[in-house]
Structure 1
Amino acid sequence: MTSEARALPPGQRALPPGQRTLPAMLQRQSERFAGRPLLRMAGRQWTHGDAAEAAAVRAGALAQAGVARGDRIAVMCGNRIEFLETFLGAGWLGASVVPVNTASMGPQIEYFLANSEAKLLVVEAGFLERLATADLGRTALRELWVVGEATASWAPPAGVRVSSYPEGGPPIAPAAVQPGDPLAILYTSGTTGPAKGVVCPHAQYFWWGVNSAEVLGVGRDDVLCTTLPLFHINALNTFAQAALTGAEVVFESRFSASGFWPSMRANGATVVYLLGAMVPILLAQPEGEGERDHRVRIGLGPGVPSAAGQAFRARTGVSLLEGYGSTETNFAIATAPDSPRGGVMGWLRPGFQARVADEGDVELPAGEAGELLLRADEPHAFASGYFNMPEKTIEAWRNLWFHTGDRVVRDADGAFRFVDRIKDAIRRRGENISSFEVEQVLLSHPGVASCAVYPVQSELAEDEVMAALVPREGERIDPAELARFCESRLPYFAVPRYIDVLPDLPRTENGKVQKFKLRERGVSEQTWDGRPAVRPPVKAA
């Protein structure tokens, strides 16, 4: 039976359907919360009233640079005020932001720019060198705004104008954007091909804020604190939660295990945001009084193992809520502080429908594992598709359901349990990794004839990247040298930790690599480990 939760959440009353846009959110918060503190980041502070003004000024600067409604603006920047200014300004203007993962190297940056057809790139000076290995002539890029002082020389290609990030332009009135208009294109790694640009409309962003705030019980007296990067929906969503509720949000530059609790205490945080692997890392730190000397009342911890979550609560007093929501969907499934049991993703939230289905989209009974399919009751609460990839859009949204690619079980009490990923994807350090992209880099090495990349479980209850390689005839592969080869061509989190050199790969009768056999084989005594101190070798889950 399809799970439904149709009672409309209270947050829907925050803005009527036609006003579920970023400009309307900013104007509403300016009117309701005015001088209340909204933001602290890298020494800068905003009130709720400042946000709308910052958006109007940044939109003016974008307009002066020739950016128009419907254009795309790429941003490759750490957790700095310039990132948020550009995001808000683009939404105010009716343009879309294309966040670029700051770990991306030249080939990935080139792909994001080319696929999104971005005309302007806002880039932190420290990342300029990455562009040297990107062929910007194959993109639509016409202008670069550099944030900070460049320390290395880099010559842009002809036709690309480079200037410092402008202070601002004359403030302009918000565009008449609609809830279904695109606000951002967020790239999520492909599983059998290149990364896909998820087109996120304004109303989806609104619903991310509404649903997350309701799950966490965020109110105007809360201080939300995150160390997660703004180029992910998780951190962008945290801003939406604060904007809709009158709360304050603090963005830290990065996650530090030793500095996490001192930072939370210094910021007066009441709500925190953690990914699965971060919790075991924190638990591995020496116990200290500071882990209880804080104001944190709750945290969001998707993907945290049940045992780790229990240990975290016993040690820190903070309950971590589980949930499910992909970049394409919304916070559709979640636990609550009073949930009857743990070890599950949670229960379906109001405003969404869920189905566990077989390969033909036929619904399965409770207790049987199948693919999780989702849809929303409210218009534009999910992404509208993949940018410039109509075939992939049709494939994912077929039969009027979004196909998550995740295998789950729905229990008799309505709780959903995660089993594994159907798609050939890897998740490490909170990042989705395309095995296809890693394989393409490995195959570009002159010594590699064929390869397969797949996940194995790490000691931190997340995926580690493993590669099985077959050398070219007469060639000898040095795994350490191959890893160094990958380091300059892949984000750090995508470089294989484990490498197996094999005479051949297991294949089907028609030559397709059987990755499930490699996953079952897992790490052996012959496997090269990029972190040899880790013992004993881990096996695939």
Structure 2
Amino acid sequence: MLGQEYLPAESRTLPALLERAAEREPARVLARDEQRSLTCAEALELVARRAATLVDAGVGFGDRVAVLSENRLDVIELWLACAWLGAVIVPLNTALRGPQLEHVFADAEPTVLALESQLVERLDYVGNAPAQKWILGQDVPPPGEPVDRTVIGPGDPAVILYTSGTTGPSKGVLCPQAQWYWWAVKTGGILGVRSGDVLYTNLPLFHTNALNTFVQALVYDATFFIGPRFSASRFWPRIVDAEATVTYLLGTMVHILAKRDADPDELRHRVRIALAPATPAALYEPVRERFGIELVDGWGSTETNVVLSTAVDGAPAGSMGGITPGFDARVVDENDEEVSPGTPGELVVRSDDPFAFSLGYNRLPAATVEAWRNLWFHTGDRVVRDVDGWFWFVDRLKDSIRRRGENISSYEVEAVLTAHPDVAAAAVVPVPAVEGEDEVLAFVVPRFGAQPSPEGLMEFCEP
């Protein structure tokens, strides 16, 4: 769709995109997991009926529905049903527990919580969980009679995603309807997604990447396939079984796959290209030669969009790439003055199109103003722009931990550790991981007379 006319503003909502897909190709398989599939027409009917279930639960325009689940089509179904009503879905990281869940429930105030049975015990330590709880695959009320969709606009909230803060609790990012349209248009454009593609991801549905992949299928007349969490030993068989043509990875996943012994399925797949943020430059050519897959890097954040990409012609491997059409980016000093090429500074970004970025942070107006000061979003990334215009990552401006593609809040890990009855204080820092990015190192001060074991603390911190 890059280089073509964009849809009009009123069509840049999830319900409008679903209706468009059902009208264009009703029999096309829109979404699949390993248990079931939905055509465009089936998805449209099911969403209108599932919305009736939400209405019966008291969900309406602006209300929130939280989901605590591994990858399954039920999450997409609930997301679209919420959008049908103008409600907001809140997908929760399945690693959250105790204090983190209490914070999210207090901040988002969901009317309903849908979760998987194996995660129910997580609520034993949470005092403010929603009264209405649905166990996915067990006691979710059946779909009702189809309801008319609520009139919504491209700027109405569709999702709240909680990003990891480094100095405090996670912030809820308000992502509007049109942000997902622009995510899909821009990401699908740099990947060359086309009609008939099968877009396979095993990244979690509580992050932007996987949700964006589904909307790419809506926009580009493709099929979305959501797989289980990443397994190096089963990755290629799953890719082959899904008949995937495009996939979505993280740099650490690429590193792990490249280190493994040869697998017969690694040459039987149909994948031509993969979005693989944070992949080291040294892996691009080996991956192309061994697996026959072209890697593309892209920079974005929950608050923004795919602003930078190595799909821009001439971008060197290992860089952050150049600016994706429709966005702007600069490197600035502490006074927001643009610095000269080769000088490190903070990456700030903005969009040419309305609602391509988030609306700000839920219930945090001061943090929103601070992040968007001077009409640029301040990313917190220290980068360099070279004389040819390519961007290169240096580090984060603030302390942060990034492990296997996840931003980890040291504050929140420390909060869990200090909740242990034998711990008086804790500090968490990043250390280099063998496969790239970070590993988590915790320093613990025991309470007087206590001797907590590392194994016991690890078990206490497990989801």
- Give the drift of 1:340: 4.6
Equivalent of 1:441, from 416, 432, 435?
A: 416
**Residue 331 of structure 2 contacts residue 338 of structure 2 at CA under 8 Å; is this kept in 1?**
yes
Equivalent of 1:91, from 80, 83, 88?
A: 83
**Structure 2 equivalent of residue 536 of structure 1:** none
**Residue 48 of structure 1 contacts residue 246 of structure 1 at CA under 8 Å; is this kept in 2?**
no
Counterpart of 2:105, as a letter, is L
Distance 1:371 1:227 in 2: 31
Among all aligned residue pairs of Structure 1 and Structure 2, give the percentage whose two residues are the same amino acid: 51
- Give the drift of 1:402: 0.6
SS in 2 for 1:244: helix
2:283 pairs with 1:302: no
Distance 1:201 1:183 in 2: 5
Counterpart of 2:48, as a letter, is A
**Residue 31 of structure 2 contacts residue 73 of structure 2 at CA under 8 Å; is this kept in 1?**
no
TM-score under structure 1 normalisation? 0.82
**Residue 319 of structure 1 contacts residue 337 of structure 1 at CA under 8 Å; is this kept in 2?**
no
2:34 pairs with 1:45: no
- Residue 289 and residue 350 in structure 1: after superposition, are their counterparts in 2 closer, same or farther (change >3 A)? same
Distance 1:479 1:437 in 2: 18
- Give the drift of 1:123: 1.1
**Structure 1 equivalent of residue 101 of structure 2:** 109
**Residue 279 of structure 1 contacts residue 309 of structure 1 at CA under 8 Å; is this kept in 2?**
no
SS in 1 for 2:251: coil
Equivalent of 1:21, from 1, 13, 16?
A: 13
Equivalent of 1:293, from 251, 254, 268?
A: 268
- Give the drift of 1:330: 0.3
Deviations 1:379-432 (A, max 9, x none): 111000111111211111111111111111111111111111112221112221
Counterpart of 2:40, as a letter, is H
Alignment of 1:209-228 (within 5 A): 209-228=184-203
Distance 2:263 2:419 in 1: 48
**Structure 1 equivalent of residue 240 of structure 2:** 265
**Structure 2 equivalent of residue 146 of structure 1:** 135
Alignment of 1:178-217 (within 5 A): 178-217=153-192
2:121 pairs with 1:129: yes
Counterpart of 2:137, as a letter, is G
TM-score under structure 2 normalisation? 0.96
Equivalent of 1:458, from 418, 428, 433?
A: 433
Equivalent of 1:35, from 6, 23, 27?
A: 27
| Deviation larger for 394-403 or 468-477 | 468-477
Distance 1:288 1:89 in 2: 40
State the number of aligned residues.
Answer: 463
**Structure 2 equivalent of residue 376 of structure 1:** 351
SS in 2 for 1:10: coil
Counterpart of 2:114, as a letter, is V
- Give the drift of 1:299: 0.3
- Give the drift of 1:227: 1.0
**Structure 1 equivalent of residue 3 of structure 2:** 10
Q: Any unmatched runs of 5+ in structure 2?
A: none
SS in 1 for 2:200: strand
Counterpart of 2:345, as a letter, is G
SS in 2 for 1:34: coil
Distance 1:74 1:444 in 2: 25
**Residue 42 of structure 1 contacts residue 81 of structure 1 at CA under 8 Å; is this kept in 2?**
no
Counterpart of 1:142, as a letter, is A
**Residue 68 of structure 1 contacts residue 94 of structure 1 at CA under 8 Å; is this kept in 2?**
yes
- Residue 485 and residue 294 in structure 1: after superposition, are their counterparts in 2 closer, same or farther (change >3 A)? closer
Distance 1:79 1:478 in 2: 33
**Structure 2 equivalent of residue 68 of structure 1:** 60
Task: Give the greater-gyration-radius structure (CA).
Answer: 1
- Residue 10 and residue 166 in structure 1: after superposition, are their counterparts in 2 closer, same or farther (change >3 A)? farther
2:403 pairs with 1:411: no
- Cα RMSD (Å) of the superposition? 1.8
SS in 1 for 2:83: helix
**Residue 20 of structure 1 contacts residue 206 of structure 1 at CA under 8 Å; is this kept in 2?**
yes
**Residue 99 of structure 2 contacts residue 415 of structure 2 at CA under 8 Å; is this kept in 1?**
no
- Give the drift of 1:110: 2.1
